[in-house]
Each structure stands twice: as C-alpha cells, then as structure tokens.
Chains A and B, each alone.
Chain A
C-alpha cells in the first residue's frame, strides 16, 4: 500500500513549509487526489491519521478533493469524461485517450495556527 509513503510525504511537505510560512500547528489539510490518480482516498485517510501522530498535524482534519477524470480523444478531436485509465472514448468507443485532468496528487492548502 503506497498510500503510507504518500501520507509520509504529505507530513514532510507540511513540515518543510512550516519553515517558510511560520506556523506551529496545522488544523486542516486540503489534498487533491484526482479520480484517475493511483491513490485511494480512504487509504490515505487511514495512513494520514497514523503518520500525523506526534507531529504538528496530529488531529488535523483532512479535506480531499477529487477532480473528475478528463481525457483528449484524438479520433473525435474532443475532450471527454472518463472514470478509469482503461476507459474507451464514450463517443467513438476508441482507446488511447490522453489524460488531461484527474491524475493530480497534490497538497493544495493548509489551515494553520
């Protein structure tokens, strides 16, 4: 489960940013985990609670945004909605779509003290 490594990365990013933005406690963390990304939000939540213990993020709320998947279909010359990397174009049924949105994996913002 690589979500543990991802949760640890979130803690490290937030601790690094504390030196830049001068905060001592984090109350809320907003993440963006696109629907086509390789991470599972529930697993991230579970791991986050574990790795946040004893850090400035202990007890912080986790808000997870989920950008819907979008891809470009060359055959149609159009942007289409997709829910998985294995999806066909909903219009022409072709494969080989290029993902344009929904594979994000980001720490967006923090509410800090």
Chain B
C-alpha cells in the first residue's frame, strides 16, 4: 500500500535493506519512497490546520505546445514532399495580390495550395480559388496570428500533392506571427514601399524570423520617400543572413526572381524528401 495516500493493495512490510524500489499505482504524486515531508512548504515547517503550499519546478517553454504541433506539421509536410512558406506582413502590403499572381503563374509547374489566415471573411480564399488553386480560409476571430494547431487542421482538409508548394498567408500583423512556428520551411516577410524603410528596426522580431524579405509595390518607388538600400541595411542589422527581393506584384516587375527563389526552395525540399 502506498503510505502517502493509502492506495494500492500490496502491503509494504518494514524491511532493512539499502536499495530503492518503485511501486505502481494509478495516480501521480511526489514523494520520496513513502516518506512524508512537512518541511517542504514555503515556511519550511508544518502548521496544523494550514495548507501545505509547495513549490513545483516546471521549466517549460510557454510556446512548447505550439512548437510541438509545428514539429508534427513539419514532419507531415516533409513526408508529403511539400514546400510550405509562411507569408507574413502588415495588412495591406499586397500579400494576396502577390499570392494570386504567384498561384496563377506557378500552378502549371507545381501543385500549388494556399491557406489564408484572416480575422474575418473568406474574401482572400475566394480570390485565390478564382485562379483554380485550392485554398482554405482560416478565420481567427479575434486572434492576431495563425498557430500550428490551426494550420494542422487546415492540412487535414487539403490533399497535399507530392512536390507541391503550400503558401500560408498569415494574418496581417508585423508583430504576433513572428512568435508562432507553423511548421513552415521558411517565413517570408513582405514589406511594401509605402510602409516606410525603418520597419525592420521597428519590428525586429519579424525580420529576424524571416529568411526572405520581399520589398513589394516597387512601381510606387518614384512617388514615396522609401530608401531601398537603407531598408536592406536595417533588415541586415537584425538578421545578417536575410535575403532580399524587390518586386511589384501589380505590374509583375521582379516576379521572376521570386519564382526563382520558390523553385530553389522547392528543389531543396525534394532533395530532403
């Protein structure tokens, strides 16, 4: 019988020997081989009638659950030979325009699929579906980012094709999506030139987490005070390894470089799978 709580049937006779042994019973509790320690409370002493507060060491990452689910998403995507890219940006950077054009231009080359994250509406997924590419809309409600659980559920409803490319358009937000691993191969941060060249310094977490920075709306460069070189220098302050592409998803300028980047990542994925 367990001498802490009295559960279990086997009796424990007192016997003299110096080995440790374990016993099984169907619940967990901390004890040192049946000894009762009343001095482990905060005050280091037992006071009859008062509760025994004690300290439990946990040492657990707050994001451990998300990271665990992201690990499984990544496993699944790798097993399917699918390249997943997590597109992050502030609202209005042109992510959906970039994606719709990309889906249209690459769909003959790769099986393309899209997960669209927004707080409300299915407008973006509808826009992608018009290109003939499968798209799942994930509405986060009040949530400000996609998490690994949401993407895992979306993966359940998407038939992943071998050698495919999955674009995940995160909720428009330059802060929160940086923290949540979805299981993607890489994060791509999209920054439009109307937003200001100092964004990488103002939102360093996002540009640190991204492998590629896309400077979008390059067709507007003549009209806005955006210094491309300065922006790249700022981005490399927080992430020396970040790659940079400048393009306009509206006019198509620079899109070939983007497709080249996606092809290179897809080739890496096929190599892994």
Contacts and interface: CB of A to CB of B under 8 A. Distances in A.
Interface of A: 1-2, 5-6, 9-10, 12-14, 17, 19-23, 27, 31, 38-39, 84-86, 88, 95-96, 105-113
B156 interface: no
6 contacts: A2-B175, A5-B180, A9-B63, A21-B30, A31-B62, A106-B62
Nearest to A12: B65
Secondary structure class of chain A's binding surface, majority of residues: mixed
Nearest to B51: A113
B56 A2 contact: no
Contact of B60 (A19, A95, A106): A106
Q: Which 3 A-B pairs have the closest CB atoms?
A: A2-B176, A96-B240, A85-B204
A107 B60 contact: yes
Contacts of B208: 85
Contacts of B240: 95-96
Secondary structure class of chain B's binding surface, majority of residues: mixed
Contacts of B200: 86
Nearest to B205: A38
B28 A20 contact: yes
Given A12-B65, A85-B205, A106-B60, A22 B55 contact: no
B66 interface: yes
B95 to A, nearest CB: 19
Contacts of A17: 56, 58, 60
A12 B144 CA distance: 19
Interface string B24-68: 000111100000000000100000000111111111111111100
A14 B60 CA distance: 10
Interface of B: 27-30, 42, 51-66, 143-145, 147, 175-176, 178-180, 200-201, 204-205, 208, 234, 236-238, 240
Given A22-B27, A106-B61, A5 B145 contact: yes
Contacts of B58: 13-14, 17, 107-110
A85 B52 CA distance: 43
Contact of A95 (B28, B180, B236): B236
B56 A105 contact: no
Given A2-B145, A86-B238, A111-B42, A13 B65 contact: yes
Contacts of B175: 2, 38
Contacts of A31: 62
Contacts of A13: 58, 60, 62, 64-65
Given A13-B60, A107-B58, A5 B143 contact: yes
B236 A96 contact: yes
Given A86-B201, A112-B56, A6 B28 contact: no
Given A1-B176, A5-B145, A84-B204, A113 B62 contact: no
Contacts of B60: 13, 17, 106-107
A67 to B, nearest CB: 14
A88 B237 CA distance: 8
Given A39-B179, A86-B200, 9 more contacts: A2-B144, A2-B180, A13-B58, A22-B27, A23-B54, A84-B204, A106-B61, A107-B62, A109-B56
Contacts of A96: 236-237, 240
A69 to B, nearest CB: 12
A9 B27 contact: no
Given A22-B30, A109-B57, A9 B66 contact: yes
